[in-house]
């Protein structure tokens, strides 16, 4: 039976243990933040619109993002690495960092509130617009987990909403250039007016990758992604480099 905990977000009764854990870990993560620095960020941006002030309730956001981290097993796994696409104010990455992981984000440039939040939370970020059919800029390392929450870079609420081909391109790029072997991709879609989280075609595409799909979430293991032929050489040379340096 579903129930609502925060706004419109629906959880089911089976989520209660994770929710309670997220609440406790989120409160600990909150306590580890420099409260004066955080308050200074709020004071600097408090006259801005909803896009900023919806993120001022850090305890609520840390609990919600900790729930995502727990759902991915990041509270139990050995130290790993997490890349968050469209990382916003950085709450999810801060939860992962608090749990002991190496973290990095990508978000479009030009939003001072996010820049100040990243500085306050001690996080790193690449300022870059994610565009359809454009590979991400090279990163210094590979990541065990690539996430994207409440996704907007897919043309959310525009008439340029990404379809199967755009997602195939991004997944191919992540597999070839970003993910470690056996890494996972965890996506959380925003609802589109009159479509829902995804079209039937896009849902079938993710199903064809054996994705776990629930409540707008799509979790895919990189083992299920095909490696595009044109990038085989790149991946092979990366693997030999990694083996060579062991």
Nearer to ligand SAM, 38 or 238 (CB): 38
Sign of CA dihedral 93, 96, 100, 101: negative
Site for ligand SAM in 86-125 (CB under 6 A): 86-88, 91, 107-108, 111
Query: What is the rounded distance in angstroms from the CA atom of residue 224 to the CA atom of residue 230?
Result: 18
Nearer to ligand SAM, 91 or 197 (CB): 91
Longest pairwise C-alpha distance within the chain: 54
| Of the residues 6, 33, 42, 130, which one makes contact with ligand SAM according to CB under 6 A | 130
C-alpha pair distances (Å), 31 with each of 17, 26, 36: 21, 9, 12
Tokens of 74: 């990041």
Whether the Cβ atoms of residue 206 and residue 198 lie closer than 8 Å to each other: yes
Site for ligand SAM in 216-245 (CB under 6 A): none
SS3 20: helix
Nearer to ligand SAM, 153 or 238 (CB): 153
185 binding ligand SAM? (CB under 6 A): no
Judged by phi (left if over 0) then psi (alpha if -120 to 50, else beta), residue 93 lies in alpha
> Crossing angle of helices 164-173/200-208, nearest 10°?
30
Instruction: Report in angstroms how near the CB of residue 223 gets to ligand SAM at its nearest.
Output: 25
Instruction: Report in angstroms how near the CB of residue 225 gets to ligand SAM at its nearest.
Output: 21
Site string for ligand SAM, 44-83 (x = CB under 6 A): ----------------------------------------
Nearer to ligand SAM, 8 or 78 (CB): 8
Instruction: Report in angstroms how near the CB of residue 207 gets to ligand SAM at its nearest.
Output: 24
Instruction: Report in angstroms how near the CB of residue 130 gets to ligand SAM at its nearest.
Output: 4
Instruction: Report in angstroms how near the CB of residue 116 gets to ligand SAM at its nearest.
Output: 13
Query: What is the rounded distance in angstroms from the CA atom of residue 176 to the CA atom of residue 164?
Result: 18
Nearer to ligand SAM, 110 or 244 (CB): 110
129 binding ligand SAM? (CB under 6 A): yes
Look at residues 103, 106, 176 and name the one whose alpha carbon lies nearest to residue 143: 103
Residues in CB range of 127: below 8 A, 6 or more apart: 107, 108, 109
Instruction: Report in angstroms how near the CB of residue 89 gets to ligand SAM at its nearest.
Output: 6
152 binding ligand SAM? (CB under 6 A): yes
Nearest residue by C-beta to ligand SAM? Answer: 88
Nearer to ligand SAM, 101 or 149 (CB): 149
Look at residues 158, 206, 192, 185 and name the one whose alpha carbon lies nearest to residue 82: 185
Binding site for ligand SAM (CB under 6 A): 86-88, 91, 107-108, 111, 129-130, 149-150, 152-153
């Amino acid at each position: 039976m579903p129930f609502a905990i925060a706004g419109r977000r629906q959880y089911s009764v089976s989520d209660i243990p994770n929710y309670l854990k997220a609440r406790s870990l989120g409160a600990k993560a909150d306590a580890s933040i420099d409260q004066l620095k955080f308050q200074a960020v709020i004071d600097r941006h408090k006259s801005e619109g909803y896009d900023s002030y919806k993120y001022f309730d850090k305890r609520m956001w840390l609990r919600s993002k900790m729930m995502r981290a727990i759902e991915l097993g990041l509270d139990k796994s050995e130290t790993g690495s997490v890349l968050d696409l469209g990382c916003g104010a950085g709450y999810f990455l801060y939860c992962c960092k608090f749990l002991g992981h190496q973290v990095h984000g990508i978000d479009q440039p030009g939003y001072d509130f996010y820049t100040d939040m990243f500085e306050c939370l001690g996080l790193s970020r690449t300022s870059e617009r994610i565009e359809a059919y454009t590979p991400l800029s090279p990163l210094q390392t590979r990541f065990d987990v690539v996430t994207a929450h409440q996704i907007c870079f897919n043309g959310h609420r525009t008439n340029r909403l990404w379809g199967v081909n755009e997602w195939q391109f991004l997944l191919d790029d992540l597999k070839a250039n970003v993910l470690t072997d056996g890494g996972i991709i965890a996506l959380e879609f925003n609802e589109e007016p009159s479509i829902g989280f995804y079209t039937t075609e896009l849902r079938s595409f993710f199903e064809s990758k054996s994705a776990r799909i629930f409540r707008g979430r799509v979790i895919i293991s990189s083992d299920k992604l095909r490696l595009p032929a044109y990038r085989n050489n790149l991946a092979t040379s990366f693997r030999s480099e990694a083996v060579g340096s062991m």
